Chains A and B, each alone.
Chain A
Amino acid sequence: MTDAVVIVLREVLEAMLLICMLMATSTAMGYRFRWMLGGLALGVGGATLYALGLEQISMAFEGFGQEYVNSALLVGIAVLLATHNFLAVFQLRNPSVMLAYRTLMLTFVVMVAMAITREGAEIYLYAYSYGVLAGNITAVFSGGVIGLGIGLSVGTFFYYGLRSLARRPRLIVCCGVSLVLGASMMGQASVYLSQADVLPYQEPLWDSSGLFEESSLMGELLRATLGYEAQPTLNQVSLYLSSVIVSILAMLAAWRLHRLPEPARGGE
């Protein structure tokens, strides 16, 4: 049962952080949560397709289809998170401008859908194989509900915590969260890419498993929130940092865009 808790919690926590951050952003921008429905529906559909087609996907690209799809999803989310930061900073600079709804919707929907596709597929596979096929339904169900419950509860507090901030600080904090999430996604993507031998193998730069074991509760928590890795490689660290830099540059660009003659174009 603890395995089910850990697996479900890890995935749910990661998705919740993203979704709650986006929810807080959209309240700060004055939008409702209509994008969430589309994102969830697409995500669940995507996760099912991914899980069902996993065999075909795995066989593709010389057996590294999974790694490519996963890293594509992760990089996609990271790019969209940078877009999110761009839009958020633009909104901060031009509080009176209502951002183009469709752009925002599309960004959010696709982000949520991609995240849930990845996280959901893993939960689906685990629940189906260990729960349904192996007959441990009660254990997987209990563990899954516990993991889901804890994840949703943490997300609830996270959301209301963000909600308690005034609009401007809320947007700023959301940008920070998005920055870290994006970097963590890029870090994970680098692992998949080195697993598929796209990125070369490297010696770990350091080993902090003495401080936080990756399999420990704290380690899992840090992994889900900050993309913590006990033994990161140079690739991982540089992709992590490059994501941070891209995100910061996107925000600077949005900040500078303010001086352009037609600021409204930024939202298009």
Chain B
Amino acid sequence: MASIRVFLTLTLIAIIVLVSFLSSLRGYRQSMVEAETLFDMQLQEHAKLLSLITINRGQVVEGLLLPRQADAQLSAQSLIAYQVFNEEGALLLRSVAAPNTPMSPREVGYSDRNFNGYRWRVLVVWDQLDGHWVMVAQRLDVRYELAESVILEAVVPTVLGVPLAALLIWFIVGYGLRPIRQLAKEVRSREVSDLSPVRLDNVPRELTPLTVSTNDLLRRLQSSFNREKRFAADAAHELRTPISILKVQVHNLLAELEAPNATAEELRQGIDAMGHLVEQILVLNRTAPDQYMVQFVPVDLYALAQEVISSEYEQILEREQHFDLEGGPGLVAGDATALRSLMLNLIGNASKYSPQGAHIRMRVRTDRKETILQVEDSGPGIPESYRERVFDRFYRLDGDRHASGVSGSGLGLAIVKHIVEMHGGHIRLSQSRELGGLCVTILFKPLAQEKPEGKKA
């Protein structure tokens, strides 16, 4: 059963068709039999009348004969033909439509005969009183057509009604199956991280077990997710203090050592990297879209970018890289801290993974539909097949042996994606057309034009 809707529609229509068509077929047959009887009775009436007319042997009583006009009319329509013979078989009387030869052998009763180029229903009556054979005939095709045209009037509506019923069944079945479609849509359309219970109005009884068990599953999933997330955040938070202590102690150690010591310097760098990682984990958790509960304020991305660049300028200078900021004010509704984090990560990445003397360009642009933040570099870029995976947590291109030989947490782009999603934006990775390296394009919903004065949070 590929589709419940198709199955139900087809079988329901089939049942309706079978029942209604078979019953109207039966009705038709029954009515035809009734009509036959009626016509036969009509023939009998005619025969009786003719017997009355020809009371005297061989002598037709004048005046009792059918009016000429009526006779002619009946004959013209070829509805009725009659003959009266005497005992010896001589024709006494006949209608215009009747032949000169007997329409039927002299056998009392009904029979079907061919004459005059038609098939007739013939009634032969033996009038014992006068010794007459009375034969009355009616054209079978006319009888049949008359009866059928009347009966068909009753059949045709059924025949025409069935397509209408079919159409209605299709829609009604579709309507009846709507809760299933809604449930499927509700489950399909939700975000990956959205584990809130499925809510449907008027869940039908048949679907209740499904929604209940689905929601139960979602709840269990949610709580285990929460545990995991809290654990990571708590662990990171708990690690902050010992790391700070370690930092201080390393600082002291370095101060105590007179000569510069390579091992101690590496130790310092290691502890710094660990601190950075823990901070990143904290940012990541704080900015997870389902975690974030903050009132957005208008933020100018351009102004924010200027601020971030000035704080990061040291690193860029150190690597002799060129940095441009282009564009103009780009207002979005957002969280300034999170957006700063986003820019830090983007600029940090661009600088870190591009070689010495590379070119980095940041652009802020607003058009009617969106505010665009774009960061391009002339570094190695990311091959197309990896562009989805780099957003995964702790995923690093080429594992830890990154081509650039730079260490990193593998969380940067995951954080960026979190923040973009939190702001309802879209992120796209591509190859920079002008600089040749990676091009990160982020589309934000622009802030409504009515409030241009809200510059920055």
Residue A145 CB within 8 A of the other chain: yes
Min Cβ gap B163→A in Å is 9
Select one of B1, B7, B10, B24 contacting A146, CB under 8 A.
B24
**B1, A149: Cβ atoms closer than 8 Å:** no
Complex contact A149–B10 (CB within 8 A): no
Query: Does residue B162 face the partner (Cβ distance < 8 Å to A)?
Result: yes
Within the complex, the shortest CB–CB distance from B423 to chain A, in Å, comes to 45
Is the pair A145, B25 in contact by a Cβ cutoff of 8 Å? Answer: no
Are A163 and B18 in touch, CB under 8 angstroms? Answer: no
Docked Cα-Cα span, A145 to B163, in Å, equals 10
Question: Are the C-beta atoms of A1 and B17 separated by less than 8 Å?
Answer: no
**Residue pair B17, A150 in contact (C-beta under 8 Å):** yes
A139 in the interface (beta carbon within 8 A): yes
Which of A59-67, A120-128, A153-161, A224-232 is found at the contact surface with chain B? A153-161
Residue from A1, A149, A154, A160 in contact with B155 in the complex, judged by beta carbons closer than 8 Å = A1
Please give, as numbers and ranges, the residues of chain B lying within 8 Å of A160 by CB-CB distance: 1, 7, 10-11
Is A153 touching B159 in the complex (CB atoms < 8 A)? no
Chain A residue nearest to B19 in the complex (CB): A153
B22 at the interface (CB under 8 A from A): yes
Task: Note all chain A residues with C-beta closer than 8 A to B293.
Answer: none
Best-surrounded residue of B18, B25, B149 (most CB of chain A within 10 A): B25
* Cβ–Cβ < 8 Å partners of A153 in chain B: 13-15, 17-18
Q: Does A208 contact B (CB under 8 A)?
A: no
Residues of A within 8 A of B13 (CB): 153, 156
B12 CB → nearest A CB, Å = 10
Which of A138, A149, A150 is the one whose CB lies under 8 Å from B156? A138
Q: Which residues of A contact B36 (CB under 8 A)?
A: none
Closest to B151 in A: A1
Output the nearest chain A residue to B10 by Cβ-Cβ distance. Answer: A156
List B contacts of A150 (CB < 8 A). 17-18, 21-22
**B-chain residues with CB within 8 Å of residue A136 when the two chains form the complex:** 145
- Cα A37 to Cα B11 with chains together (Å): 22
Q: Is B167 an interface residue (CB 8 A)?
A: no
Contact partner, A142, options B15, B17, B156, Cβ 8 Å: B156
A56 contacts B by Cβ under 8 Å: no
Interface size grouping (class) on chain A = 10 to 19
- A149-B21, A149-B162 known; A142 vs B14 contact (CB < 8 Å): no
Is B29 part of the contact surface with A, judged by Cβ < 8 Å?
yes
- Chain A 83-103 interface 0/1 with B at a Cβ cutoff of 8 Å (1 = within): 000000000000000000000
Cβ of B148 < 8 Å from any Cβ of A? yes
Query: Cβ of A2: which chain B residues have Cβ within 8 Å of it?
Result: 25, 28-29, 32
Given contacts A142-B159, A146-B21, A163-B1, contact A1 B152 (CB under 8 A): yes
User: Which of A2, A5, A136, A142 has most chain B Cβ within 10 Å?
Assistant: A142
Q: Tell me the bound Cα distance from A146 to B13 in angstroms.
A: 13
- CB neighbours of B10 from chain A (8 A): 156, 160
Decide: A1 and B28 in contact? CB cutoff 8 A.
yes
A22 to chain B, nearest CB (A): 16
Cα separation A138 to B13 with both chains bound (whole Å): 23
CB distance A157 to B1 under 8 Å?
no
A173 adjacent to chain B (CB < 8 Å) = no
Given contacts A146-B25, A157-B11, A152 and B152 within 8 Å (CB-CB): no
Residue-wise, chain A 1-45 has the 8 Å CB interface mask toward B (1 for contact) of 110010000000000000000000000000000000000000000
B148 & A1 in contact (Cβ 8 Å cutoff):
yes
**In the complex, what's the smallest C-beta–C-beta distance from A20 to chain B, in angstroms?**
12
Q: Specify the chain A residue showing the minimal Cβ separation from B28.
A: A1
B86-118, CB < 8 A from A: none
- Whether the pair A5, B25 counts as a contact (CB closer than 8 A) is yes
A5–B28 Cα distance when bound, in Å, is: 12
Q: Report the minimum CB–CB distance from A26 to chain B (whole Å).
A: 12
Q: Within A152-201, which residues are at the interface with B (CB < 8 Å)?
A: 152-154, 156-157, 160, 163
Q: Give Cα A157 to B7, complex, Å.
A: 10
Chain A residues with Cβ below 8 Å from B1 are: 160, 163
Within 8 Å by CB of A149, from B11, B17, B28, B152, lies: B17
Taking CB atoms, residues of chain A closer than 8 Å to B24 are 146
CB distance from A30 to the nearest CB of B (A): 12
The B146-174 residues at the A interface (CB cut-off 8 A) are 148-149, 152, 155-156, 159, 162
Contact B14 A156 (CB under 8 A): yes
- Contact A146 to B15, CB < 8 A, known contacts A1-B152, A139-B152: no
Q: Tell me how far the C-beta of B39 lies from the nearest C-beta in chain A, rounded to whole angstroms.
A: 17
Max count, chain A CB within 10 A of own CB: residue among B14, B29, B148? B14
Contacts of A146 in B (CB 8 A): 21, 24-25, 155, 159
Q: A residues within 8 Å of B by Cβ?
A: 1-2, 5, 136, 138-139, 141-142, 145-146, 149-150, 152-154, 156-157, 160, 163
Closest 4 CB pairs of A and B: A153-B14, A149-B17, A156-B14, A153-B17
Q: Please list 28 pairs of residues, one from A and one from B, whose beta carbons are closer than 8 Å in the complex, sorted by A's number.
A: A1-B148, A1-B152, A2-B28, A2-B29, A136-B145, A138-B156, A139-B152, A141-B159, A142-B152, A142-B155, A142-B159, A146-B21, A146-B159, A149-B17, A149-B18, A149-B21, A149-B162, A150-B18, A150-B22, A152-B14, A153-B14, A153-B15, A153-B18, A154-B14, A156-B11, A156-B14, A160-B7, A160-B11
Q: A139-B148, A153-B14, A163-B1 are in contact. List 13 more A-B contacts (CB 8 A).
A: A1-B148, A1-B152, A138-B149, A139-B152, A146-B24, A149-B162, A150-B17, A152-B14, A153-B15, A153-B17, A156-B10, A157-B14, A160-B10
